[in-house]
Structure 1
């Protein structure tokens, strides 16, 4: 009977293992810094870093003066539209800062003004002979805009400097369906009310959805074109072409 009792108790044994407290796993290393104690709401990342003004300049002594180290990453850069696929909108940060940033004297820049719109509502026409493309480009990159044609990234230049344009590659439209097949040396023309420019493709690459470096203002005149990558929502095709 004693043996039977022991066996019965062993078969009914139950136990649980409590999970360790949350802080034992993946605890952020910066939670306990002196900065967090003093002011936890201040952004000290490189997104807000400033290049200080020239020594001896009128603003050299003013706190917070200077130009943004990474203007496309400053607070507010995620505002605005984004590239759109056939299944809806996907976030793609643009250069827009929400503070009216329009490049600097060292970068080319042309604002979009009312007199630059054609009667049909578009800003220009993009032509790429290598893929037999001719498409009108409208302001913005939201779903309704890209259903009409190409979309100009708000807060990027429309003529001088870096002109950034997005487009569908399948589904409702197929304007940029062959964009990734372009090769260095292929030509692109961009026509607006300011004239027509011819550009030469210098790079075709796949970039992360979150990579905004291609939309930054530039000193040279260039086009930067974007479209989605089939079945890879975290990536975009990026084509850059510089003025010939």
Structure 2
């Protein structure tokens, strides 16, 4: 994209529109400017993994915990626009990266810290809505 991002993430139910940036290393420095794409995940087909802050530097994912099953998530990139429906929201261990694995379906995985427990992460997944 013209601004150097991979695209834009939109979650209408929590009023979020934020650019998505590629990470260059494991520190996810892209989260300073927007949300970060996990480089080891797909950018389009399969499982797209994104991480964002919910406090501190920025708060793009501060309301992620408010998402409910059925809420929509839209990802727009140079390849097009995909809409996903939230299918799961749960706390996982900070070392559990299994939700970022390859999938046969198109899904999006959003991960952020859990404020009351630094050993946990909030993981929200959505599956593509066929239009």
- TM-score, normalised via structure 2 length: 0.94
Counterpart check, 1:206 vs 2:91: yes
In the other structure, the counterpart of 2:112 is: 227
Checking the alignment, whether the CA contact within 8 Å between 2:28 and 2:36 is kept in structure 1 is no
- Structure 1's 232 and 223: CA in aligned 2 closer, same or farther, altered over 3 A? same
Residue 2 of structure 2 is matched in structure 1 by 119
**The structure with more radius of gyration:** 1
Gaps of 5+ in 1: 1-117
Aligned-CA RMSD value? 1.0
Pairing 1:238–2:117 present: no
Quote the offset at 1:143 in angstroms.
5.1
Unaligned runs of 5+ in 2: none
- Secondary structure class of the residue paired with 1:232: coil
Q: Distance in 2 between matches of 1:131 and 1:168?
A: 15
* 1:231 Cα deviation after fit: 3.0
Cross-structure match for 1:69: none
Q: After the TM superposition, which parts of structure 1 deviate over 3 Å for at least 4 consecutive aligned residues?
A: none
Q: 1:194 deviation in Å?
A: 0.3
RCO (CA 8 Å, sep 6+): is it higher in 1 or 2?
2
Counterparts of 1:163 and 1:144 in 2: how far apart (Å)? 18
Q: Report the structure, 1 or 2, having the larger strand content.
A: 2
The two structures have a TM-score, normalised by structure 1, of 0.51
- The structure richer in helix per residue is 1
Q: Deviations over 1:144-166 (max 9, x none)?
A: 31110000001110000000000
